[in-house]
Chains A and B, each alone.
Chain A
Amino acid sequence: MEFATGSDATLSSVLYFTLSFFFASAVSLLFCFFMRIKRQRKEIRSAQVEQQWREFCFQALMVQEPEKLPPMDQRDLYDLVEMWLQTFDRIRGADAAKGLIRLGQWLDFENRLLPWLKSNTIDEKLLAIMALGLLKERRALDVIRERIDDPYPLISLAAMKAFMEIEPEQGLPELLKRIDTPGWPIGRVRQLISAAPRTLQTHYVTLAAETLSEEQLPKLFELIYALAPSEASDAAKLALRRHPDSAPLLLVIIKHTTDPQFLPLVRASCRNSHPPLRHESLTALGRMGDQDDMAQLIQALNCDIWINQQAAANSLMTIVNEASAAQAIMPVLTTESARLHWSELLFQKGWLLPAIESVWVCSETSPRTQVAYHG
Chain B
Amino acid sequence: MVEWYWVAPAAIGFGWQGQLINGLFWFFLIYQIIVGTSYISLNIIALYVVRRSTRGGKDLHLPRVYESSLPGVSILLTAYNEEQLIATSVRSLLQLDYPLFELIVIHDGGSDDTLGVMQREFNMYPCPYAFEYAVSCKPIKQIYRSHNHPNLIMVDKVNGGGKADANNAGINVARMPLYCGMDADSILDRDSLLRVVRTFLEKPNTIAAGGSVRIVNGCQVHDGRLIKTGLPHSWLSRIQVLEYLRAFLFGRLGWSRLQALLIISGAFGVFKRDNVIEVGGYLSTSLGEDMELVVRLHRYALDKKRPYTINFVPDPVCWTDAPEDRPTLRKQRIRWQRGLLETLYAHRKLCFQKGSGKVGWLAFPFMVIVEAMSPIIEVLGMIFTILLAYFGYLNVGASLLFLAAVVGLGLLLSSLALVLEERSFHVYPSYRDTATLFLWAVLENFGYRQMNSWWRLQGTWQWLRKSESKWGVMVRNTSWMTESTPSK
Contact = CB atoms under 8 A, between A and B. Distances in A.
B398 interface: yes
Contacts of A32: 415, 418-419, 422, 434
B408 A344 contact: no
Interface stretch (A63-71, A153-161, A233-241, A258-266): A153-161
B405 A18 contact: yes
Task: Identify the interface centre among B5, B68, B415: most chain A CB within 10 Å of its CB.
Answer: B415
B347 interface: yes
Contact of B64 (A1, A188, A341): A188
Q: Is the interface of A mostly helix, strand, loop or mixed?
A: helix
Nearest to A369: B136
Contact of B69 (A86, A190, A372): A190
Nearest to A36: B422
Nearest to A3: B397
Contact of A154 (B55, B296, B350, B401): B55
Interface in B38-81: 51-52, 55, 58-66, 68-70
Interface in A160-181: 161
Interface string B96-107: 000000000000
Interface string B404-418: 110011011011101
Given A28-B419, A36-B426, A363-B139, A373 B58 contact: no
Nearest to A130: B61
Given A22-B408, A89-B60, A3 B133 contact: no
B448 interface: no
A368 to B, nearest CB: 4
Given A11-B398, A32-B418, A375 B203 contact: no
Contact of A370 (B55, B130, B280): B280
A183 B29 contact: no
A17 B405 contact: yes
Interface size grouping (class) on chain B: 35 or more
B128 A370 contact: no
Given A306-B134, A362-B140, A126 B58 contact: yes
Nearest to B416: A28
A371 B133 CA distance: 11
Contact of A187 (B69, B141, B419): B69
A243 interface: no
B7 A10 contact: no
A324 interface: no
Interface in B135-191: 135-143, 158, 175
Contacts of A141: none
A191 B397 contact: no
Contacts of A161: 62-63
Contact of B2 (A10, A21, A24): A10
A368 B133 contact: yes
Interface size grouping (class) on chain A: 35 or more
A17 B40 CA distance: 13
B40 to A, nearest CB: 10
A114 interface: no
Contact of B401 (A2, A18, A157, A370): A18
B314 interface: no
B395 A29 contact: no
B133 A4 contact: no
Contact of B280 (A191, A341, A371): A371
18 contacts: A14-B401, A14-B405, A21-B411, A22-B404, A31-B419, A89-B60, A122-B51, A127-B58, A154-B59, A158-B61, A187-B65, A190-B66, A337-B130, A361-B142, A362-B128, A367-B138, A373-B278, A373-B300
Interface of A: 1-5, 8, 10-11, 14-15, 17-18, 21-22, 24-25, 28-29, 31-33, 35-36, 39, 85-86, 88-89, 122-123, 126-127, 130, 152-154, 157-158, 161, 182-188, 190-192, 195, 306, 309-310, 313, 337, 340-341, 343-344, 347, 352, 357, 359-363, 365-375
* 5 pairs of A and B residues whose beta carbons are closest in the complex: A21-B408, A191-B63, A4-B4, A370-B136, A372-B280
